[in-house]
Amino acid sequence: MFSAKKRLDNAYKASKIIPFNDHSKFILFSDCHRGDNSFADDFANNRNIYYHALKHYYNEGFQYCELGDGDELWENLKFESILNAHKDVFLLMKQFHEESKLHMIWGNHDMVYRDTNYVKKYLSTYFDAKTGEDVELFCDIKYHEGLILRHTETQQELFLTHGHQADWWNYLFWKWSRFMVRVLWKPLQIMGIADPTSPAKNYKELIKVERKTKKWITENKNVITVTGHTHRPRFPEPGEVAFFNDGSCVHPRSITGIEIENGEISLIKWHISTQENGTLQILKSILEGPRKLIDYRV
């Protein structure tokens, strides 16, 4: 468990397999870092964008894969405070879950979800103040370290994971990082000082994580691998190392993700645009792609 290769190997071997074909549709988001709607809640700025995008994908019949760090459980002690701050988002996610279209991966900021008992205790139900009763939320939901999308005809695989397996500090010492963030960096974040242990805010660490991930991909027959963690979108051309990153949902005024549809993959951005009449509108832009998945096959 002390090498990036071993950690990624273990995540791959333990992954849940999801069959798909050219008619399947997936949206991949990660690093939402949903918080308690305080000044330290990075997700709050993009909540309306995220909700609008996710509602679009639900209406269009997409499956939702969340690649870790969905909930900010380093800065926040309890899931309940996050749920109360963003209940509309979770109720929308519940609709995906009820149709077996919600696939969840844990990352370093929500690594407590490795514990099935924790998930069952805190995510299965919530207290509804209006009725005074517990109401179902994510009943029987399972969190995974990795997912494998396997094409039913070509047998081509896409390995989805958070990506912190290539970041030894945030994988092995996440409890210490959580303590430091909660006690020290959350108050400083409110004043605008960034956490230097985060690869999303430390370029040297980001490069190390990406390099280790690419090495693992090349050693595994260039299997298409999609991660988050670094918050830096990555979209290779066919023939390059098949390392994708869906970015994050805490970019300034925008969120990025990866769509899989019609046997193709695209990097997309949802953002707010100002119209000529002064109104604001949430729009989707395609940043890269679409590219046929089969073109990445070795």
Answer whether residue 15 shows pLDDT above 80: yes
**234 contacts 228 by C-beta, under 8 angstroms:** no
What confidence score (pLDDT) does residue 132 get? 84
What confidence score (pLDDT) does residue 183 get? 62
Give the integer Cα–Cα distance in Å for 151 and 221. 16
- Residues 66-113 pLDDT 10s: 999 999 998 888 999 999 999 999 999 999 999 999 999 999 999 999
Find the mean pLDDT for residues 179-207.
62
Percent of the chain with pLDDT over 70: 88
**47 contacts 142 by C-beta, under 8 angstroms:** no
Counted domains in the chain: 1
Give the integer Cα–Cα distance in Å for 16 and 180. 32
Residues 6+ apart with CB under 8 A from 2: 168, 172
CATH code of the domain containing 25: 3.60.21.10
What confidence score (pLDDT) does residue 176 get? 59
Which is more confident, 241 or 274?
241
User: How would you class 175 by CB atoms within 10 Å of its CB: exposed for 0-12, middle for 13-18, buried for 19 or more?
Assistant: exposed
The rounded radius of gyration (Å) of the Cα atoms in the chain is 18
Mean pLDDT in the chain?
A: 90
- Residues 201-258 pLDDT 10s: 667 888 999 999 999 999 999 999 999 999 999 999 999 999 999 999 999 899 999 9
Find the mean pLDDT for residues 168-189.
61
Answer whether residue 163 shows pLDDT above 70: yes
What secondary structure, in 3-state letters, does the chain show?
CCCHHHHHHHHHHCCEEEEECCCCEEEEECCCCECCCCCCCHHHHHHHHHHHHHHHHHHCCCEEEEECCCECCCCCCCHHHHHHHCHHHHHHHHHHHHCCCEEEECCCCCHHHHCHHHHHHHHCEEEECCCCEEEECCCCCCEECEEEEEECCCCCEEEEECCHHHCHHHHHCHHHHHHHHHHHHHHHHHCCCCCCCCCCCCHHHHHHHHHHHHHHHHHCCCCEEEECCCCCCECCCCCCCCEEECCCCCECCEEEEEEEECCEEEEEEEEEEECCCCCEEEEEEEEEEEEEHHHHCC
Q: Can you state the angle between helices 87-98 and 47-59, rounded to 10 degrees?
A: 20
What confidence score (pLDDT) does residue 194 get? 57
- Residues 121-138 pLDDT 10s: 999 999 888 888 899 999
Range of 53's domain? 4-296
What confidence score (pLDDT) does residue 188 get? 54
pTM, whole model, 2 decimals? 0.91
